[in-house]
Chain A
Amino acid sequence: MRHKIRTRLGAIGALAALGLVAACGGGGASGGATGSSGPTEITFWTWTKGSAEVVDAFNALHTDVTVKFEQIPSGAAGGYTKMTNAIKAGNAPDVLNIEYPVLPDYVSQGSLADLTPHVGELKSKFPDQIRALTELGGKTWAVPLDASPMVLYYRKDFFDANGITPPKTWDDYKAAAAKVKQADPKARIGTFFPDDPGHFASLAWQAGGKWFGTSGDSWNVSIDDPKSKEVADYWQGLVSDDLVRVQSAFSQEWNASVKAGETVAYVGASWGAGSALRANQPDQAGKWAVAPIPNWGTPASGMYGGSTFAVTKDSKKVEAAVKFISWMTTNEQAITTRIGIAKSTMYPAAADMVPVAAKSFDNSFFGGQDAYSVYKDAAGTIKNGWTWGPSMFATNSTLKDSFGTVTSGGTLTDALGKAQKSTVDELKKRGLNVS
């Protein structure tokens, strides 16, 4: 019975693949990037800032591989839905943009090609810790673009004018939050994002929480572990005391309150400066500064988001795809293009590329401050040992729904408990081992 449905999907996939091969006009050599009969055309979907420019640069330099780029909405805004549907329908592009948290989802759905045989030398360019997030079940499934260390962005003009110093610990953050509110009753130091569980997860990661782990052939799930609960209680307190706003991440509402100077700081990742702040608040250039993220006693960071590039299972051009991915993630010109020309502020995962990024970065938004040195310090403190689970879409759905009730009587700790239960249920339903 199961063969029937498989063959059918397979047939659809094969038809679509035929269509693609036919469409690549004379590029007959499928799989071979160095075919003499013209360039291999690969397709690429992403939303990461600056990708259009990077693709243009790649195409201008390469004659054997041509990349057809398509901008898609960001993952949470529908990008992942689009990708999942395309994979299901058998008409997915060759190269996809997948963030670390949901990479295990795609791998466990059997959507991606095993890159292990293609990335031998490439792998050594990334720090072990980040590489580990792309290796699941002993195979390599994706190549990291950026690490996403977390920092505190703050309005230096507001902090200076009111004698507030950037908080070093989370206790300081709470005290600073009260001072901000006192200085201007309409202003708040930051935001709790109920629709963005990834943001909370990165804070739990920083505190030493560990939501998933594996022992042998089974999963350990502990979304409501003591450290994560501490973080939940802490933010619950900030919300109840009206010291932070509760708004959707990157929403018009949030942008408006930043614009109006009513949100004067933002706990975010390296990429947040380029994608969220600088892009939307050009008139606040020079007023912002970067500080290390507040911590629980010793400097530490989690990773908030961060992109990898993967190749889809049905792609017939894995070699060409890896060549392109390798260029995007570890070539100097790719990084200069993305950061210098396209104004991204991502922090490259490849260690060699960090100085390149720092050099191409235009720091006028931060009044001349060298943001990349802050990112670099933060990247050095990313806690080891975090693993993402195989059903983060389901986990995030539950978290998002229950975080949403934080302003109407729900608590964040309850939310963690619910997510724990629904995640274990989901894993069991899929037939995975849970211990």
Chain B
Amino acid sequence: MSVQKSHRGAATLLMAPFFALFLGTLVVPIGYAAYLSLFTERSSGLGFGGTETLFTGLGNYLHALGDPAFRAGFGVIAGYVLGYIPVMVGGALVLALLLDSTLARAKRFFQLTLYLPHAVPGIIAAIIWLYLYTPGLSPVVAAMREGGLTWNFLSSDHALSSVINISLWEWVGYNVVIFYAALQAIPREVVEAASVDGAGELRTALSIKLPMIQAAVVMTVLFTVIGALQLFTEPMILNGANPAVNTTWTPNMYAYDAAFRRGDYGVAAAASILLALVAALLSFVVTRIGNRKGAA
């Protein structure tokens, strides 16, 4: 009895920091955002008499949903996900399988090198890439032009691909490490049995290894989709340079624009809550699909 009690005390003590942070940095801010989202600021006449704060119910939510710029943000995210996920997951899988194959040399070196870009903070990466994209400054663009290839990374037609490229650079290596770890967890006797049965490297990779790391792949896709909804840093940096990347290009940028440019914290809070709801819904759906596939 008393042993149990002291266990409980220890558990509470050890978990307290987590719950304190969880409350302070997640629950309270979400609650505050929900509260803010119900109010709006109103002036009158010419507006030079200051503002008053009024309760508006769901008014801010309706405003955000009715704003084509906010809805367009979700379209951009959809395009981004469609372009980004296949290349990212495909590329990471190929690299991880290559690393895991018996043919690979200098595995540690490649693991580290592939992972390195992820260690660079997103904002720094975006600034470096902006430099590499800018004609007249970038050695890459200059070299491409020398080689007869004119590609303007900053033209409005290439907005999405330029953002996807930055994301790929940042994330492929990270996911290679995840997939590689999952591959390493496959019992060696299974792989050996396959090769004894006459399966080559390619056959083993496709028929044995891939199905066995399906859970890791599904989890990566889930995290990537949720991450995509929060797309902010890279387009924010490209905002000034690429005309197609406007100030409300993604839902997060819309919220930022509402709060910090238009000074409308109510709409910003409402847009953020809506975004959080979409993310929650999407996680639920993706997990369900993932589970069903796993069970089948």
Chain A positions within 8 Å of B, measured between CB atoms, are 1-2, 5-6, 81, 84-85, 88, 104-105, 107-110, 136-137, 139, 194-195, 214, 217-219, 248, 251-253, 256-257, 260, 390-391, 393-394, 397, 400-401, 403-408, 426-427, 429-433
Contact = CB atoms under 8 A, between A and B. Distances in A.
Interface string B215-259: 000000000000000000000000011011011100000000100
7 contacts: A108-B43, A139-B48, A248-B240, A390-B47, A404-B244, A405-B156, A408-B244
Nearest to B54: A2
Contacts of B55: 1-2
Contact of A431 (B44, B134, B137, B260): B44
B53 A6 contact: yes
B107 interface: no
A136 B247 contact: no
A404 B243 contact: yes
A198 to B, nearest CB: 14
B54 to A, nearest CB: 6
Interface string B36-67: 00010111111111111111000000010000
Contacts of B179: none
Interface of B: 39, 41-55, 63, 131, 134-137, 155-157, 240-241, 243-244, 246-248, 257, 260-263, 265
A429 B47 CA distance: 12
A2 B52 contact: yes
Given A2-B55, A137-B48, A393-B261, A430 B241 contact: no
Looking at A219, A260, A391, A393, the one whose CB has the most chain B CB atoms below 10 A away is A393
Contacts of B260: 81, 84-85
Given A256-B137, A406-B243, A110 B50 contact: yes
Contact of B257 (A1, A397, A405): A397
A191 to B, nearest CB: 13
B146 to A, nearest CB: 16
Looking at B156, B243, B265, the one whose CB has the most chain A CB atoms below 10 A away is B243
B265 A107 contact: no
B39 A432 contact: no
Nearest to A82: B260
A194 to B, nearest CB: 6
Contacts of A397: 247-248, 257, 261-262
B134 A430 contact: no
B243 A407 contact: yes
A218 B48 CA distance: 11
B43 A256 contact: no
A109 B51 contact: yes
Nearest to B49: A137
A64 to B, nearest CB: 31
Given A81-B260, A394-B262, A408-B156, A217 B45 contact: yes
Contacts of A104: 47-48
A432 B46 contact: yes
Contacts of A257: 136
A110 B48 CA distance: 7
A432 B155 contact: no
Contact of B136 (A88, A108, A139, A253): A253
Nearest to A396: B261
A432 B241 contact: no
B261 A2 contact: no
B193 to A, nearest CB: 57
A219 B244 contact: no
B46 A253 contact: no
A408 B155 CA distance: 8
Contact of B46 (A105, A137, A251, A405): A137
A6 B155 CA distance: 45
B44 A109 contact: no
Contacts of A429: 63
Contacts of B157: 408
A432 B48 CA distance: 10
Nearest to A400: B247
A172 to B, nearest CB: 28
Contact of A405 (B49, B135, B136, B244): B244
Contact of A110 (B51, B137, B244): B51
Looking at B55, B260, B265, the one whose CB has the most chain A CB atoms below 10 A away is B260
Given A404-B156, A405-B156, 13 more contacts: A88-B265, A110-B49, A110-B51, A136-B48, A139-B48, A195-B240, A217-B45, A253-B136, A390-B46, A400-B247, A431-B43, A431-B47, A432-B43
A161 B45 CA distance: 57
A274 B248 CA distance: 33
The 10 closest A-B pairs by CB, nearest first: A110-B50, A404-B243, A137-B48, A401-B246, A431-B42, A108-B47, A408-B156, A2-B53, A81-B260, A1-B55
A108 B244 contact: no
Given A108-B47, A110-B50, A218-B46, A253 B241 contact: yes
A219 B46 contact: yes
A393 B265 CA distance: 14
A382 B157 CA distance: 40
A100 to B, nearest CB: 15
A81 B46 contact: no
Contacts of B247: 397, 400-401
A132 to B, nearest CB: 14
Looking at A2, A256, A390, the one whose CB has the most chain B CB atoms below 10 A away is A2
Given A137-B49, A429-B63, A109 B263 contact: yes
Given A401-B248, A404-B243, A408-B155, A394 B261 contact: yes
A88 B259 CA distance: 11
A108 B45 contact: no
Contacts of B48: 104, 107-108, 136-137, 139, 390
B42 A430 contact: yes
A256 B136 contact: yes
Contacts of B44: 431-433
Contact of A253 (B51, B134, B243, B246): B134
A88 B261 CA distance: 13
A81 B39 CA distance: 21
Nearest to A431: B42
A109 B54 CA distance: 14
A400 B244 CA distance: 11
